[in-house]
Structure 1
């Protein structure tokens, strides 16, 4: 598949997968989120003293806010990603429940204060994914660009619903696979 065809395929596939997510009822999403969070328990491990980057859910992504609290309760440091400049890697700032948030790019809540940190573990929401742990995101390249800039590379957990699995994302040289993908039904390594 040439570059132009791949770009069009990814755009259409994103829209199809987002539509599947949009039609889930709030009750169905809550049930899937609970099962997904239970599967995360088998992956997360000891977070004491580690920086764990999560995300604020948008576009009906799995809601991992309970994991944020659990990380803090277990002695980890939560961080949220921030788009500071388009075309540049994300910046991560520490955040704990009760600390102020402000609206960032696309009106996503981001820490109003917090220290700039480097994650040991990073969660990435997926629009789609394949069995090789490649992630289809929203198409901005922020997450892959960020992972390419981090040294050492954090343990990266792709998070999404099982219905987002596709045979392949047709990975390109700039696509970086996740360490694992966690859904409500399984953990893919």
Structure 2
């Protein structure tokens, strides 16, 4: 996923310029037109990624440890379960150490792979140390392996609202993937408290997270 992709969703309609990006993020005006929501999301995405990157690397590392601890408390016994994680990108929580601990405790892990624009992700089994190659936007992906179906999907968020709706990078990959899976896994959004926002203006194609975990607590 990347931050310079436009949100996918309903067809685009002509409308006057939207100045929502100039408002205080806490000030919310109802948006009914998808083109306005799309522009608002793009501006909010840029703001939130900037805020995340402004946090020091040491502080993000400490928050990532707390997030991993909360994930353990939420999930419980991990043995025999397949967990899809992600390779950290642009200041996202770094859960690679937790990934290694899952495998050490009898669980299995996978990473998402972008096949092409407009298509669901696939998940490939991955154990730390397996060979990686550069995928879309140079994010590392497993170099080989058959697709797997995860029991738990850990999804990084750019923003999250009180309904557990996730603001992502705009490609629509996670929503499209969750809609296409033959069963609904436990989907946990992970991020920092600074990424909580009043709303993402959820649309019919948006799928909420089952749970949300930050450095503060699960929600």
State the TM bucket, normalised to the shorter chain: over 0.9
Counterpart in the other structure of 2:135: 104
Select which of 80, 90, 103 maps to 2:121. Answer: 90
Scaled by the length of structure 1, the TM-score of the pair is 0.97
Work out the CA distance in 2 between the residues paired with 1:33 and 1:49.
Answer: 24
Paired residues for 1:1-189 under 5 Å: 1=31, 2-188=33-219
- In the TM superposition, structure 1's runs of 4+ consecutive aligned residues that sit over 3 Å from their partners are none
Work out the CA distance in 1 between the residues paired with 2:167 and 2:117.
Answer: 19
Scaled by the length of structure 2, the TM-score of the pair is 0.84
Work out the CA distance in 1 between the residues paired with 2:185 and 2:216.
Answer: 24
Work out the CA distance in 1 between the residues paired with 2:80 and 2:116.
Answer: 29
Gaps of 5+ in 2: 1-30
Tell me the CA shift for residue 41 of structure 1: 1.5
Gaps of 5+ in 1: none
Tell me the CA shift for residue 115 of structure 1: 2.4
Work out the CA distance in 2 between the residues paired with 1:11 and 1:27.
Answer: 28
Give 1 or 2 for the bigger CA radius of gyration: 2
Work out the CA distance in 2 between the residues paired with 1:131 and 1:153.
Answer: 21
* Of 41-50 and 93-102, the range deviating more from structure 2: 41-50
Alignment size in residue pairs: 188
